[in-house]
Amino acid sequence: MQTLELKAVDKFFGELQVLSSIDIHVEQGEFAVIVGPSGCGKSTALRMLAGLEHPTSGEVFGNGVPITDPDPKRVLIFQEHALYPWRTVEQNVGFGLELANIPVKERKKRVNEVLDKVGLDGFQSYYPQQLSGGMKQRASIARALVMNPEVLLLDEPYGALDAITRLTMQNELLKLWKGSGMTCVLITHDIDEAVYLADSIYVMSPRPGKILEKITTGLPRPRNRNSSGFVEIRQRIMDHLDIGTYHI
């Protein structure tokens, strides 16, 4: 499994500074969440951990080794499911294995196992247009998990889902992560989602993004969203983001 680290990272796109002196350290098997306003550089930081972007200055590491390129051990899941409409669920989920020349029998076995884990057993022959939004995201997660990644990077994966489906998917993600040993880093605008899922939360400022605070949640799972500890952390984040007081 992998530790992840951004050290003193700055990022410019031309004259525009997106990130300023970012320091993030995620332990092996930890569930970390980055939360902040739109345009603060959250997704840019995540893409650096995936090896898809590079810092203007500073360093990015996986297990102490500089991250310079994508690696199949680090899988990135986007908000849009990005399933191929002409391929079935089984074919979509097994696409990476196909590219890796995994034999058909082994590929089918691994795909069926992961589809069962994400609640899509029986939907192997369905096409993306036949699935609900939540089912499409399950298929996207299955496509990542079938590669046995060490790191799961998630860029606002539930942003397009309705509220009830989003809550369901949060619980399903925790079930898949728990005991897997995977290191997870999630980007979200949803403060409740951050507190519900995270071991640690990095709160970012508006652009150029800086880390305002790293919050270690320390809350037992499953988490009660109305507990005093949950509400306290939620309010700390809201205070940083200057979006008012939360009343219960």
pLDDT digits (tens, 9 = 90+) for 193-213: 999 999 999 999 999 999 999
Q: What is the pLDDT, as a whole number, of residue 169?
A: 87
Burial of 112 (0-12, 13-18, 19+ CB in 10 A): middle
As a whole number, mean pLDDT of residues 14-32 equals 96
| Main-chain dihedrals φ then ψ at residue 229, nearest 5 degrees | -65, -40
0.85 surpassed by pTM:
yes
As a whole number, mean pLDDT of residues 31-59 equals 95
As a whole number, mean pLDDT of residues 128-153 equals 91
As a whole number, mean pLDDT of residues 213-222 equals 95
Residue 243: pLDDT band with limits 50, 70, 90: low
- 42-62: b (≥16 Cβ within 10 Å) or e: bbbbbbbbbbebebeebebbb
| Main-chain dihedrals φ then ψ at residue 164, nearest 5 degrees | -70, -45
Residue 76: name the closest of 32, 111, 46 by CA.
46
Cα dihedral sign, 129-103-70-111 = positive
139 phi-psi bin (left φ>0, alpha ψ -120 to 50, beta other): alpha
Q: What percent of the chain has pLDDT over 70?
A: 97
What CA–CA distance (Å, rounded) separates 21 from 205? 12
pLDDT at 102 over 50: yes
As a whole number, mean pLDDT of residues 115-132 equals 92
Q: What is the pLDDT, as a whole number, of residue 7?
A: 97
Q: What is the pLDDT, as a whole number, of residue 248?
A: 41
Residue 31: pLDDT band with limits 50, 70, 90: very high
Q: What is the pLDDT, as a whole number, of residue 69?
A: 94
What CA–CA distance (Å, rounded) separates 43 from 150? 20
Q: What is the pLDDT, as a whole number, of residue 247?
A: 44
Parse the chain into domains and list their residue ranges.
Answer: 1-73+149-248, 83-148
- The CB density around residue 107, as the number of other CB atoms within 10 Å, is 20
Match domain 1-73+149-248 to its CATH number in 3.50.50.60, 3.40.50.300, 2.120.10.70, 3.40.190.10.
Answer: 3.40.50.300
Q: Mean pLDDT for the chain?
A: 92
pLDDT at 244 over 60: no
Q: How far apart are the first and last CA of the chain?
A: 40
